[in-house]
Amino acid sequence: MSLDTLSGGDLGADRVLDPAGVLPQAARRLDPDPVLRSGEIRLRVRTLNLDAASLRQLQEKHGGDGDAVRRDVLEIVGSRGKMHNPVTGSGGMCIGVVEERHPDAAADVQVGDTVATLVSLTLTPLVITDGLAGWDGHSEQIPCDGHAVLFRRTSLVKVPEDVETRTFLSLADVCGAPALTARVLADRRELGRGERVVVLGAAGKSGSLSMAAAQQHGSEVTALVRDEAEADAVRAARLADWIVVADATDPLGTLAALSSAGGPADVVVVCVDAPGCEHAAILAARPGGTVIFFSMATSFSAAALGAEGMATDVTMLVGNGYSPGHAEYALELLRSHDGVQSLLAPQPRVPSVRAAPVRVTQRHYVSEQAAHYADGLVAGAYSLGAFGDVATELMIQEAGCEGLFAGYDTVAFRAPVQAGDVVETTATVVRRGRRSRHLDFELKVVARRVEGSRSSRLAEPLVATTARGVVVVPRGHEEGKDTP
């Protein structure tokens, strides 16, 4: 169908309840009435796939309380007639069975076919009828009963028989990323321009497919991942020439990390599901390079004004979720790159994003044996040992396992710790990934020996050591899996 013969109904404009005159994606509220209008198809929904940025935002908002996340999703869908996260502006997509097809519908599908939508839930009229009873509020993929309405222009694809449905759902959600990466690289080759690629958030779904696209194109690829656990996963997937561990929300840290891994690149693909990566992405690009902002957490103003402030000449592209043949291309990458399969396979559950505890505190008496230097002063390693212990208790409560310490980002020794002190160590979760937990640590002296065996509580606790570090849930210990 050419665009000049399009009618509003083809795009679902007649389903918009509020405000009048906009298309469904921009609407506050859609009409999800199951009675079909011209050109429409109704799906019996089986699974929703929440967009990663949206799920992260909801989990952070509710401190990992799955029931509260579920209530919020139901509230959004109930009030808006679609899954359109008002904060991230993103939605996801769904899989369902064709229940009814208007005679004018254009898609080549029949009643009974299982299909995945290739358009966002932010523009898909949706009704949920089962209260999402089978969902724990943690996983991106949500068992769901209800109906969705697809317009004549809605892209959809039949679920292939040789690919596991949940893997296909993950792939369909992000298949725009590899297609755009491939197109940008092909255009650059035609113009004789550089083709080195950096993928930020490389261990995720869109990241793995984007790396596979770049590898198939013959580009040198640097994967930027968040922690050692993700680095291991990308290494095993053999999709990158270089792997660096860095926080993509830290621009200078990212630049420094890249300097030992091929340096800035010609094409940077942003696949991180968290906000604040614009400046790192721009610094990761060479002058004349291209940054593909696939992430829904991207801020237009941060990107545009940041590039201006850095006086950096890069082309910045919004990652269009659609391009012709994008699902078929992503399927080809999945079938031809074993590594994609492992990174794309949905996590059984996002582990341990529970509401509590976010903070654990322990107290210790610093014995004479701990004294290392003159006047009973203990070595800095004492604080790190105490942080390891408090992190272990926190991870046992958070994740039901001890966790593995991946490393410290910062450690600061601010005041002495002495034999005879009573110290209080606190670990606080400041950020959660799928398997990673970013923790802030503090060790305070709360009581100190005065003379002989006389000690007294300090009126004001003395902050002796602070740190920030990353602990990961070991593979196989994710919630919902049997621990070995």
Contact positions vs ligand NAP (CB under 6 A): 51-53, 90, 173-174, 176, 201, 203-207, 225-226, 230, 247-249, 271-274, 294-297, 319, 321, 433-434, 436
Between 24 and 176, whose beta carbon lies closer to ligand NAP? 176
CB of 60 to ligand NAP, least distance (A): 11
CB 249 within 8 A of CB 274: yes
CB of 409 to ligand NAP, least distance (A): 11
CB 41 within 8 A of CB 124: no
Q: Which residue is nearest to ligand NAP (CB)?
A: 204
Between 203 and 331, whose beta carbon lies closer to ligand NAP? 203
CB of 451 to ligand NAP, least distance (A): 49
Task: Return d(Cα 264, Cα 283) in angstroms, integer.
Answer: 7
Task: Return d(Cα 461, Cα 464) in angstroms, integer.
Answer: 9
Q: Which residues contact 211 (CB under 8 A, 6 or more apart)?
A: 197, 199, 202, 221, 223, 234, 239, 240
Q: Count of alpha carbons within 13 Å of 199, Cβ hemisphere only? A: 36
Between 90 and 426, whose beta carbon lies closer to ligand NAP? 90
Backbone phi, then psi, for 324, in 5-degree steps?
-60, 130
Between 16 and 269, whose beta carbon lies closer to ligand NAP? 269
CB of 205 to ligand NAP, least distance (A): 4
Between 206 and 466, whose beta carbon lies closer to ligand NAP? 206
Between 294 and 382, whose beta carbon lies closer to ligand NAP? 294
Closest CA to 20 of 10, 8, 6: 8
DSSP 50-71: E-HHHHHHHHHHTTT-HHHHHH
Q: Which residues of 110-121 are buried (b: 16+ CB within 10 A; e: fewer)?
A: eeebbbbbbbbb
CB of 347 to ligand NAP, least distance (A): 8
CB of 61 to ligand NAP, least distance (A): 16
Q: Which residues contact 450 (CB under 8 A, 6 or more apart)?
A: 456
CB of 386 to ligand NAP, least distance (A): 26
DSSP 267-305: EEEE--SSS--HHHHHHTEEEEEEEEE--TT--HHHHHH
CB of 222 to ligand NAP, least distance (A): 13
CB of 93 to ligand NAP, least distance (A): 8
Which residue type does 443 have? Answer: L
Which residue type does 335 have? Answer: R
Between 386 and 471, whose beta carbon lies closer to ligand NAP? 471
Q: Please give the torsion angle defined by the CA atoms of residues 343, 346, 347 and 353, in that order, rounded to the nearest 10 degrees.
A: 110
Between 111 and 256, whose beta carbon lies closer to ligand NAP? 256
Between 98 and 177, whose beta carbon lies closer to ligand NAP? 177
Between 30 and 118, whose beta carbon lies closer to ligand NAP? 118
Q: How many CB atoms lie within 10 A of CB 78?
A: 12
CB of 372 to ligand NAP, least distance (A): 36
Backbone phi, then psi, for 357, in 5-degree steps?
-90, 150
Closest CA to 268 of 278, 276, 259, 260: 278
